[in-house]
Structure 1
């Protein structure tokens, strides 16, 4: 574990700060999917005892970041294809309803600001479209969160954030090429255009197609398929 992460922890909220510390290690890829947590090394790196660390690990397990195995310890969650499909379906259900609210509630000014951000993103991508650069596939989720935030429904935003955090873990190893990035931004612009026209049905139709394409592509990049996720033969 990198020694430079041993920043001071306030004693009044040790478990909460340890939870944030470990969560960040997962989200930034320091701890990879399926990796076992070394409690001794983590505790030493943070500068705390193993008791508060175990409390943090228990919380993160409940949030879906970690899995616990008897007599083996905690492991970074590794998602199965069907779990990824489930998360996409949950995300779609939340997002599609939220966008209908956004059509009804968002101000013209806030939608213009979002459109300007997308235009800047499109221009940024054009500057290196022919270069072999890429970024994490989950980077495109930022637009979706901004669009949902304009719905004004805090409960939906919180639930969506949880689903997106889990998708982040599942999709973190995947990368988007500049071509895919440009394709995503173009789809976002089309959806936002319908939202600005207050065309809820049109926006939802485009968003549904875009999210299906996003799911199929991310699964394909991981060497998986949506049909694998649709197999419910275990009757879970």
Structure 2
């Protein structure tokens, strides 16, 4: 008789899941510095599994390890956001076509449950539940498509897409627009309007891309304003010192 022992997640896997969750939810902001020591203390483990977890997250594109400088949460400029949206569009539209061909009714059922839950989350102002459901809505396309290699390819960019989506979901007005598009996608699938569903999904991805680029511009403007203010303060202090001297 062979005894099979179930293996739980290793410390490295647990650390990776913890850090990934904080990045995806937005608790750790884009560009924020990561401390192996601080993370190890939070988790109550040594630095070694944290270091290994960071290397795994680097492979997933969620952290940037810079020699002699440190480790940072990923950042994206407008060009990178455009490229990510291009890859997302190619993969999701391909998956939607397969899902519709293989089991359109299953997709409709899963989407109906998710959209119903999204409606509740939106009505109660639960943005955290809403953005998790938003991610589940798009993941359902790949689940129903049932193509292992397509799903694995999407996984390469899925966490980064979810992280960007979560940052946008902090705006209630954007959530309302997003929810409306998810409802319409469900309606098109339910009524067999395949071409309309494909066009709307493509538009939905483009809309998300444009909103995030706008978000980046606002963020950059705000950061520039802060830097200019700090520079003026330093110059003012310097002039004051010279006058006193």
Aligned length: 210
Pick aligned residue for 1:174 from 168, 175, 179: 168
Q: 1:62 pairs with 59, 62, 67, which one?
A: 59
Distance 1:27 1:68, change over 3 A: same
Deviations 1:68-115, CA, capped at 9 Å, x for gaps: 111122111111221122111111100001111111111525513422
Structure 1 residue 206 displacement after superposition: 1.9
Is 143-152 or 192-201 further displaced after alignment? 192-201
2:16/2:56 contact within 8 Å kept: yes
User: Deviation digits for residues 118-177 of structure 1, max 9, x if unmatched?
Assistant: 24533653x46xxxx583795533322223322122332333243231123345433454
Q: Higher helix share goes to which structure?
A: 2
Q: Distance in 2 between matches of 1:215 and 1:201?
A: 21
Query: In the alignment, what sits opposite 1:234?
Result: none
Given candidates 32, 35, 42, the residue that maps to 2:29 is 32
Q: How far apart, CA to CA, are the structure 2 residues paired with 1:190 and 1:180?
A: 16
What residue is the counterpart of 1:152 in the other structure?
146
Which consecutive unaligned segments of at least 5 residues does structure 1 have? 1-9, 225-236
Give the Å deviation of 1:35: 1.8
The 5-angstrom pairing of residues 99-114 of structure 1 reads 99-114=96-111
CA 1:35–1:153 in structure 2 vs 1: closer, same or farther (change >3 Å)?
A: same
* Superposition misfits of 4+ residues, deviation over 6 angstroms: none
- Cα distance in 2 between the residues matched to 1:186 and 1:11: 40
Q: Corresponding residue for 1:43?
A: 40
The 3 A distance-change label for structure 1 pair 47 and 183 is closer
Question: Which blocks of at least 5 consecutive residues in structure 2 are unaligned?
Answer: 1-6, 219-245
Contact map agreement 1:105 1:151 (CA 8 A) in 2: yes
Superposition RMSD in Å: 2.9
Aligned to 1:106, the other structure's residue is in SS state helix
Please state whether the residue corresponding to 2:16 is helix, strand or coil. helix
Question: What is the aligned partner in structure 1 of residue 196 from structure 2?
Answer: 202
Aligned-partner Cα distance in 2 for 1:11–1:205: 43
Contact 2:60 2:157 in 1 (8 A): no
